[in-house]
Structure 1
Amino acid sequence: MTLSSSSNTSPAPTPRPTVREAVLRLLRHLHIDTVFGNPGSTELPMFRDFPSDFRYVLGLQESVVVGMADGYAQATGNAALVNLHSAAGVGHAMGNIFTAFKNQTPLIVTAGQQARSILPFDPFLSAMQATDLPKPYVKWACEPARAEDVPRALARAYHVAMQAPRGPVFVSIPADDWDQPADHVEPRQVSRSMAPDPAVLCQVADALNSARRPAIVAGTGVDRDGAMDLLVQLAERHRAPVYTAPMSARCAFPETHRFFGGFLPAMRERIVEKLAGHDLVLVLGAPAFLYHVEGQGPHLPQGAALWQIVDDPQMAAWTPFGNSLVASLHLAVGALLQACNPPQRPLPAAAARPEPAAASSPMEVAYALQVLNVVRREEDVVVEEAPGSRGVMQARLPMAGPGSFYTMASGGLGYGMPAAVGLALGRQRMGLKGRTIALIGDGSSMYSIQALYTAAQLALPITFVILNNRRYAALQDFAPVFGFAPGEKPAGTDLPELDFVSLARGQGMEATRADDPSRLAEDLRAALNAPGPCLIELVVA
């Protein structure tokens, strides 16, 4: 008997997807469909046959790209994907990778690498020790050992980025990996919230309930964890004033609320002075405390106890005094609210409000921001990078509450303009109303002025407000702390002759200059109601 040939035929094996196909499928599962990048040769294979349901957002410099992704991730609450060129591109991006690390922003940073086949020959545009370059300012870094490991490495990167404390991660991907076979990575859930230890939480609640005059210091983590509304209730129940922690990168408490106590400076002695009279300090979502200059003496007023609740074990570990609880803020504050049993306490004294600033020529920053506060809408958000005017902004431009304010936690310049672009894009994605106001100093703006191009190309609802005082004001004003004589200017801190109207128009954006205080409200209203992005240069004293 002769067997038919068909009886010896096995079904053809299902072809494995390529690395590119597996990565795109994974990204769709993770709800990531936007790539922020500045293209280079080693990244080109990633984008061949780029799918129509993905969007590539072009930035004109790598640090700008990371800043845009940071703002987008903060607006959407999901990790953003950044694609950089190999060593040089990652080097350009490091300033804002550092800021993303300090901001605790979840970013998946990928970088191209030369083809595996020629890596032994130290080829042009390769990255030697690629995973070491962004350290220590990424939570995890990997160059997969095999091409087929790339999708799983990116899955791990996503979960690491999203776990508290959130932050950037880095994956180096050789150029010839994208067409290699791989397996799909099945989606999985990883819990990201950390419940507070019940016994320790009980101690915090007892301390808060028994305090005679408690104070709360709130930081970036409160807004990032969606705990601000709970904090308002907690403060009202305990009649405790709420201070914003030094250098907070987001609004931590509504700044027009009756219980808002003001801003703590990043100086040890001044913090002790501000908190004098309180017998308990509860720090939420912030270091205790962040200092900018050397200080002496105690960290707290005499007789005051401290409890800190943060989602970062490292931050809790280096706190030099008091007790810490590591937990997600919304869970911990919600539990403290349930455990409220305070004694009768007097209302805290209301924070002093500044007298109205008068119009003058040239305009003072205080007057300009006072007018901006009047004409902006409640749903508008502010992204700030004007460190020389931050104290004036805190007095004249109070923030309303959740999602109303963003700045850099790192102190590194070049974040604000691209972050505003990413934030506006993310808010648009989330269906949120309102305009993004980028309040930027003249010196700060020149670190990332290329962000104007992307804003113009995407026609985003952003108004860039440039405070042009023709100097690095923060450095000149801070110089006496470092021994400069009164009025003595450090070298290289004057900035004459910058023309921001021309710079903006050269990148395709409408722009105006305002130097007449009598027309300022009209000029700002026009800038805030423009159909697309625009820039207004405020000439200030």
Structure 2
Amino acid sequence: MGYRPALALLEILRGEGVDRVFGNPGTTELPFLAALSEAADAPEYVPGVHEGAVVSMADGYARGTGRPAFVSLHIAAGLANGLLGLLNARRSRTPLVVTAGQQDRRHLQQDPMLSGDLVGLARPAVKAAYDIQHAHDLPLALRRAFALAVRPPAGPVFLSVPMDLMAEETEVEVPPRTTVPRLGPATGLDRAAELLAAADRPAIVAGDGVGREPALAELILVAEACGAPVHHQPMADFLNFPATHPLYAGMLPPRHDVIRETLARYDTVLIAGAHAFTPHHYSPGPALPPGLTVVQLDSDPDEIGRNFPADAGLVGALAPSLHRLAGLLRDRVPGAAARTKEAGDRHTAERADAEAAARAAYSPAPLAPWAAAHAVAAGLPPDAVVVEEAITVGLLLRRLARLDRPGSYTHAVGGGLGWGIGAAVGRALAEPGRPVVAVLGDGCALFGLQGLWSAARESVPVLFVVMGNGAYRTLQDTYASMGGKGTCPGTELGRLDFTTAAEFFGVAAVRAESADQLRELVAGAGELRAPLLVDVPLRS
């Protein structure tokens, strides 16, 4: 059966399970928009007033649904606005299929308004970029894009589609969808089990692949089978191990020298689904201490031995691989229970100290950062999703939040500010029965404020918590650590009234007057029926 190009696109979206299109409309997308409006069973169009928010919404939606999200951007300028979100998605390995309408080919050589090198713009931020020049190539390229977006390492794929091509009356064939077999368990697990069972001081680094695939339950079995403390990878984007578990040892910091010092207390480490160690600040030397035995497991073969040598490098799907590894380790480590108890006692004491320090900082506003982070952590409903883009307060929140449900924590390691508001909207659309609490720094929120328009339009019950310290605090702290004198130029934002900003976009807002009030507001996130923004003044 033949389809006109725009209808062929819709047919492929249906087959790929796409039920929403995230976009900002423009002239070059009009043929596609017309097809959306005319088809009775077309995906819902979810608009944004800035492409940064559009791509971030798609990112949050893809993470919540576990399947690729579809994005429609407008020509060169719209793609440029969306690049920040694409860079974040590529870093976080979020599967997206992104199209942008190119100018009409019949006058493209005349450099018409809005035209540009779309593929050249997109290529550094995506896994692959396709320039579609023939209608019959569009269906095949789309099928390829959806398959490539989810293939390890997952990420965004881009297609440039000329306006006149999409409007052609030519009929094209839609190739059937091919079901790709799932990756199975890794080979070499016997060797990995031998190394872990022989270890006197084993540890695990839980990478974001564990949360993405997901393989949380299977990693718990492995950790308990050998009594290994588990560290989150630096600046983890997912919950990769429950923070309530006795073996949870916290997140590794994004510096090689501190990672090396932390891992030096162990003799063997299992690194599961971690993209290198994603350092932020440079420090000399490798991330791993000398003499450490390394077992590395990943679904992406390019990760094995990429940044450090592995004594056993395993390629396979994480969940079945870890499940089999746990079976191979069962009853081979007699001291596992004792190790687990010892680690649990140590970690419980460390968490109690952090809790006590945070509670001691409670006060009326402006709040101490520790108190604000604790109030959020203490108030979270049991099934809440935390979307965190708070930088400095986010580091404190990671230490205090007792999250244990898969998918309950979302972050963007890409570093492109402004992701959090849109991502929270997309996550709420993906899981409508689950409370979503977005914890945002004031600097981050400024970059993504337009996402509040979509939050109001879609009436998503998201609690936006904006931590206002009036500065790019992480930059100031780094500047001071490097010996900088005075205040780093350009880092003072001043006190900002986010209640006014929220109300402009049609979002109700309130200012937190105390840590106790903030905790109560967070606890009520599950009762929301529309978005609410909480402005939290912090001490400078």
- Letter of the 2:303 partner, please give it: M
Partner in structure 2 of residue 423 of structure 1: 427
- Letter of the 2:273 partner, please give it: G
The whole-number CA distance in structure 2 between the counterparts of 1:32 and 1:522 is 37
The whole-number CA distance in structure 2 between the counterparts of 1:521 and 1:166 is 36
The whole-number CA distance in structure 2 between the counterparts of 1:526 and 1:241 is 34
Contact 1:163 1:192 in 2 (8 A): no
Partner in structure 1 of residue 481 of structure 2: 481
| SS of match in other structure, 2:304 | helix
1:64 to 43, 53, 74: 53
Matched, 1:465 2:465: yes
- Letter of the 2:388 partner, please give it: E
Unmatched tracts of structure 2, length 5 or more: none
Q: Following TM superposition, by how much is the alpha carbon of 1:184 offset from its aligned partner in structure 2, in angstroms? A: 3.1
Partner in structure 2 of residue 76 of structure 1: 65
The whole-number CA distance in structure 2 between the counterparts of 1:524 and 1:27 is 37
| SS of match in other structure, 1:281 | strand
Task: Summarize the Cα distance change of 1:327–1:465 in structure 2 as closer, same or farther, 3 Å threshold.
Answer: same
The whole-number CA distance in structure 1 between the counterparts of 2:315 and 2:447 is 36
Task: Summarize the Cα distance change of 1:192–1:222 in structure 2 as closer, same or farther, 3 Å threshold.
Answer: farther
| SS of match in other structure, 2:234 | coil
Matched, 1:21 2:7: yes
The whole-number CA distance in structure 1 between the counterparts of 2:276 and 2:244 is 24
Q: Following TM superposition, by how much is the alpha carbon of 1:375 offset from its aligned partner in structure 2, in angstroms? A: 2.3
Matched, 1:360 2:360: no
2:334 to 336, 340, 344: 344
- Letter of the 1:320 partner, please give it: F
Q: Following TM superposition, by how much is the alpha carbon of 1:189 offset from its aligned partner in structure 2, in angstroms? A: 2.6
Partner in structure 2 of residue 319 of structure 1: 307
- Letter of the 1:257 partner, please give it: H
| SS of match in other structure, 1:135 | helix
| SS of match in other structure, 2:214 | coil
What is the TM-score of this pair, normalised by structure 2? 0.92
Contact 2:456 2:506 in 1 (8 A): yes
Contact 1:111 1:171 in 2 (8 A): yes
- Letter of the 2:402 partner, please give it: P
- Deviation per CA, 1:393-434: give whole Å up to 9, x if none: 112223223100000021221111100010110112xxxx32
Matched, 1:307 2:295: yes
- Letter of the 2:381 partner, please give it: R
- Letter of the 2:299 partner, please give it: D
The whole-number CA distance in structure 2 between the counterparts of 1:192 and 1:35 is 27
**Which aligned runs of 4 or more in structure 1 are off by greater than 6 angstroms?**
none
Task: Summarize the Cα distance change of 1:192–1:77 in structure 2 as closer, same or farther, 3 Å threshold.
Answer: farther
Contact 1:67 1:415 in 2 (8 A): yes
2:237 to 249, 259, 277: 249
- Deviation per CA, 1:463-508: give whole Å up to 9, x if none: 00011111111111222333324xx321111111311001001111
Contact 1:463 1:536 in 2 (8 A): yes
Matched, 1:329 2:325: no
- Letter of the 2:508 partner, please give it: E
Partner in structure 2 of residue 492 of structure 1: 490
| SS of match in other structure, 1:363 | coil
Matched, 1:405 2:405: no
- Deviation per CA, 1:198-227: give whole Å up to 9, x if none: 2x3322122112212210000111011110
Matched, 1:262 2:238: no
The whole-number CA distance in structure 2 between the counterparts of 1:149 and 1:483 is 57
Partner in structure 1 of residue 128 of structure 2: 140
Partner in structure 2 of residue 33 of structure 1: 19
Contact 1:19 1:150 in 2 (8 A): yes
- Deviation per CA, 1:23-55: give whole Å up to 9, x if none: 111111111121100111111111114224321
The whole-number CA distance in structure 2 between the counterparts of 1:89 and 1:192 is 36
Task: Summarize the Cα distance change of 1:404–1:527 in structure 2 as closer, same or farther, 3 Å threshold.
Answer: closer
Q: Following TM superposition, by how much is the alpha carbon of 1:526 offset from its aligned partner in structure 2, in angstroms? A: 5.0
- Deviation per CA, 1:241-274: give whole Å up to 9, x if none: 1111111111110001111011111111211221
Q: Following TM superposition, by how much is the alpha carbon of 1:192 offset from its aligned partner in structure 2, in angstroms? A: 5.5
The 5-angstrom pairing of residues 7-406 of structure 1 reads: 16-49=2-35, 50=37, 51-53=39-41, 54-128=43-117, 130-180=118-168, 181-191=170-180, 193-198=182-187, 200-323=188-311, 324-341=313-330, 342-345=332-335, 346-347=338-339, 348-350=342-344, 351=347, 352-353=350-351, 354-356=354-356, 357=358, 358=360, 359-361=362-364, 362-406=366-410
Task: Summarize the Cα distance change of 1:340–1:480 in structure 2 as closer, same or farther, 3 Å threshold.
Answer: same
| SS of match in other structure, 2:529 | coil
When the two structures are aligned, how many residues end up with a matched partner?
Answer: 519
| SS of match in other structure, 1:136 | helix
Contact 2:377 2:397 in 1 (8 A): no
The whole-number CA distance in structure 1 between the counterparts of 2:6 and 2:389 is 38
Matched, 1:530 2:528: yes
The whole-number CA distance in structure 2 between the counterparts of 1:297 and 1:84 is 42
The whole-number CA distance in structure 2 between the counterparts of 1:528 and 1:23 is 37
Task: Summarize the Cα distance change of 1:277–1:521 in structure 2 as closer, same or farther, 3 Å threshold.
Answer: closer
The whole-number CA distance in structure 2 between the counterparts of 1:333 and 1:39 is 45
Contact 2:375 2:516 in 1 (8 A): no
| SS of match in other structure, 1:411 | coil
Unmatched tracts of structure 1, length 5 or more: 1-13
The whole-number CA distance in structure 2 between the counterparts of 1:93 and 1:411 is 14
Task: Summarize the Cα distance change of 1:481–1:194 in structure 2 as closer, same or farther, 3 Å threshold.
Answer: farther
Partner in structure 2 of residue 11 of structure 1: none
Q: In terms of Rg, which structure is larger? A: 1
- Deviation per CA, 1:115-143: give whole Å up to 9, x if none: 12222222222223x21211122111111
| SS of match in other structure, 2:343 | coil
The whole-number CA distance in structure 2 between the counterparts of 1:384 and 1:494 is 22
The 5-angstrom pairing of residues 450-461 of structure 1 reads: 450-461=450-461
- Letter of the 2:333 partner, please give it: P
| SS of match in other structure, 2:241 | coil
Contact 2:384 2:436 in 1 (8 A): yes
Q: Following TM superposition, by how much is the alpha carbon of 1:320 offset from its aligned partner in structure 2, in angstroms? A: 2.6
Q: Following TM superposition, by how much is the alpha carbon of 1:314 offset from its aligned partner in structure 2, in angstroms? A: 3.1
The whole-number CA distance in structure 2 between the counterparts of 1:301 and 1:441 is 34
Task: Summarize the Cα distance change of 1:28–1:494 in structure 2 as closer, same or farther, 3 Å threshold.
Answer: same
- Letter of the 2:534 partner, please give it: I
| SS of match in other structure, 2:182 | coil
The whole-number CA distance in structure 1 between the counterparts of 2:343 and 2:126 is 43
